[in-house]
Amino acid sequence: MTVNGLAGSSCRLVLIQLKTLLAGAVLSILALAVHPAKADIVRIAVGEWPPYFSESDEGYGTYAKVVAKAFELEGLTVEYGFFPWKRALLEAQSGRWQASAGWGKTAEREPFFHFCDAVLVEREQFFYSSDRPVNAQNVQDLSGLSLGALDGAALGEDLDKLVTADQITVYRQSSLADLFKMLDVGRVDVVMGNGEVAADALADAFSPEETARFKSLENVNVLWDYRVIVSRNIESGEELCTRFNQGLRKLRDTGEYDRLLWPERDGEGQSQASPS
């Protein structure tokens, strides 16, 4: 075969290869059109806070289910990571994880996070042991006492004033169960915690007879709204909040919010989420 013949054969071979590559590219594009790309993933750092968040629970807890479903309705898939609460906040703040959940809105956190609509609005209660009764009608009456609180948890404006004035001593632990153990032996005078979470913690750490020793102050509480917070260190933070809020509204409208958050009430519970 001549040199010209070899060159012609090479050109034809190159053209065939190019046609094959182009055909493959077209088929790939068509396949993507028929089979959309996997939904975007939202990575959320949280901690143990049963029944709302728990790594050992199906769906990771009732609050976790609400958040995952709200994002799912907007085409997003949630991936949870469990950490000590203080670290969960830092992971989200840095943007290593896009978001965290179950946090109240405070002036200290606002520079670092976008705050989505509240998933839950409840009162933080103050618990004491009947072996060492506490008489208080308001937060100011807690002056001079020692308080147990969760790591990373905000205390509220009134308690912050007592802390600043050195009128109350705060001890932190990573779980309410550990705080109640401190209360049981007199290492703290009162423990601050969510009522649902406290009931779960007491049931895990104490017998029913022992649990009966712990009481809550009837007139002293702090109202908190618990939100999904999204890092300001990621580009899509504000958009993620908008999409979550849209999904959450859909859950409320259909009644699925109550079924997910309060399964023991069999759909009869009243939504305690913020109306906003």
- Euclidean distance between CA atoms 272 and 248, whole angstroms: 13
Tell me the pTM: 0.80
What are 112-128's pLDDT values in tens digits? 999 999 999 999 999 99
What are 82-117's pLDDT values in tens digits? 999 999 999 999 999 999 999 999 999 999 999 999
Cβ atoms of 232 and 113 within 8 Å: the answer is yes
Q: What is the pLDDT of residue 276?
A: 30
What are 127-155's pLDDT values in tens digits? 999 999 999 999 999 999 999 999 999 99
> DSSP character for 107?
T
Cβ atoms of 206 and 158 within 8 Å: the answer is no
The full DSSP string for 165-190 is: TT-SEEEEES-HHHHHHHHHTTS-SE
For the chain, domains (ranges, CATH) are 40-121+225-265 (3.40.190.10), 122-224 (3.40.190.10)
